[in-house]
Amino acid sequence: MFGSGVTLFRIFGFEIRLDPSFLLIAVLVGASLASGHFPAVHEGLPASTYWILGIFAVLGIFASIVLHELGHSLVARRFGMEMRGITLHMFGGAAELEDEPTSAGAELAVAAAGPATSFALAGLLKLAAMAAAGLSSTELPIEMLLRYLAGLNLVLAIFNLLPAFPLDGGRILRAVLWARGGDHDRATRLASRIGAGLGFGLAGLGVLQILGGRLGDGLWTVLIGFFIRSAALASGLDLAARRLLGDATVARFMTPDPVTVPVALSLAEFVEEVVYRTRHDTYPVTDGAGRPRGLVAVGSLSTVAREAWPSTSVMEVAEPIESGGTVAPDLPAKQALDLMRRSGRSRLLVVDGDGRLAGLLTLKDLLDTLTLRMRIEGEEM
C-alpha cells in the first residue's frame, strides 16, 4: 500500500524507512499538540515551550513506533524469519516479513511482541512521569511530555490488538485459528474477512462521528477504517495469488520478445514507426546487443517540444533501468509479484543469463491471469 520510502538508518541490522505520508501526519500532530493539547493541559507557559514539547512529542511518537516494530522484528529473527525492514507511514508502521511464519506458535509470538513492547513502554514512561512529578510541586513540561507518550503507547498497544487482520490482533486471531484448525490458508481467509468487516465498521463509526459534529475525529476514523479494510482485503488477495501462482516462474507469465526500440531512435521515428503501428504505452529501449537500457513511455513525449522530436533520441526521455528493475525468466512469479508490490513498479524487464532482453512482465498481465484462474478454479479470497 505504501512505497518503499526513504531509508533513514539501520538498527540491529534492520533498515528503518520513512514514507512521505508520515512526515505530513507528523507536522499535523506536532502543530495540534503545540497549539491545542499542551496549552490545555497546562496554561500560562511560553508559546515556544509548547512548540518544543510538540517537536519532542513527534520524535517520541517516531521512537515509539520504531520500538513497537522492532519488537516484532527481533522476535521474528529468533524464529528464523527474514525481515525486509521497517517502514513508518501515516497510519503507524510496518515490519515487513520476507515470508509467512512457519507455525502458529511463531505467528503468535511475533504478533504479540509489538503490543507487549508498547505496553512495557507505556509503563516505563508512566513511572518516569511520576518520578518527574516528585521533583516539583507544579507540573513540569517534561512531565506533560512523558504522560502524553505513556498514553500514546497504551493506545498504540490497545489499538493494535483489535482483531482486524493484518493488525497485530488480527494476526493473533489467525494464529489461534491456525492452531485450532491446522489450516493456515483457511485461518488467513477468515481473519482477513473479519478484518475487512471491522474496517468497514470503523468507517461507519467515523461517519456517525461526523454527523455528530466531530468532523476531525470522524474523518480520521473513516480513514483508519478504510485503511484496515483495504489492507485486510489485500491480504486475502495476496493469499489467493500465492496459491494460484504456485511454483510457476516468470517465464510462464511474461510477454516474450516484446516490441523494443533502439537507443538512438529519434522521437519522431519512434512515433511514426513504432507507436502508431503497435499502439502500446511503454516500450523497452535496447542497445545493439539486445540488452535493455531503459523504458520509454509514450506519455513522456509531452516533455519535449514537438519541433525537437527529430533531434531527440528515445533514450533521452526514457527511464533508465535501475537496480531491481529486471528479473530472470526462472524467478518464481510470487517473488516477482512481491518485487512489484515493494517497489511500486508495474513492469519488470526479463533478461536472460547473457543480459539480453527475453520478455516483459507487467502487473496487469499477472493480475488478469490470476483473475481468470480464480474464476475458472473457484478460488476463495
Q: Residue 153 class from Cβ within 10 Å (0-12 exposed, 13-18 middle, 19+ buried)?
A: buried
User: What is the C-alpha to C-alpha distance for residues 130 and 381, in angstroms, rounded to an integer?
Assistant: 49
Domains and CATH numbers, the chain: 6-245 (no CATH), 250-377 (3.10.580.10)
274-289, pLDDT tens digit by residue? Answer: 999 998 888 999 988 8
- Percentage of the chain exceeding pLDDT 70: 94
Catalytic: which of 15, 43, 69, 273? Answer: 69
What contacts 230, CB < 8 A, 6 or more positions away?
Answer: 1, 199
For residue 88, how many other CB atoms are within 10 A of its CB?
25
The maximal CA–CA distance of the chain, rounded, in angstroms, is: 82
322 is catalytic: no
Per-residue pLDDT band for 21 (boundaries 50, 70, 90) equals confident
Q: With contact defined as beta carbons under 8 Å apart, do 101 and 81 qualify?
A: yes
Per-residue pLDDT band for 152 (boundaries 50, 70, 90) equals very high
62-78, pLDDT tens digit by residue? Answer: 999 999 999 999 998 88
Question: Which comes out higher in pLDDT, residue 56 or 219?
Answer: 56
Cell numbers that stand for 215 in this block: 468532523
User: What is the C-alpha to C-alpha distance for residues 204 and 198, in angstroms, rounded to an integer?
Assistant: 10
pTM of the model: 0.70
Provide the 8-state DSSP code for 279: -
Q: With contact defined as beta carbons under 8 Å apart, do 69 and 86 qualify?
A: yes
| DSSP three-state, residue 88 | strand
In order of 51, 87, 156, the CA distances from 16 in angstroms are: 26, 6, 19
| DSSP string across 338-361 | HHHHHH--SEEEEE-TTS-EEEEE
113-130, pLDDT tens digit by residue? Answer: 999 999 999 999 999 999
Q: What pLDDT score does 312 carry?
A: 92
218-272, pLDDT tens digit by residue? Answer: 888 888 888 888 878 777 767 767 777 777 888 888 888 889 999 999 999 999 9
- Percentage of the chain exceeding pLDDT 90: 25
Lowest mean pLDDT of 90-99, 213-222, 278-287, 315-324, name the range: 90-99
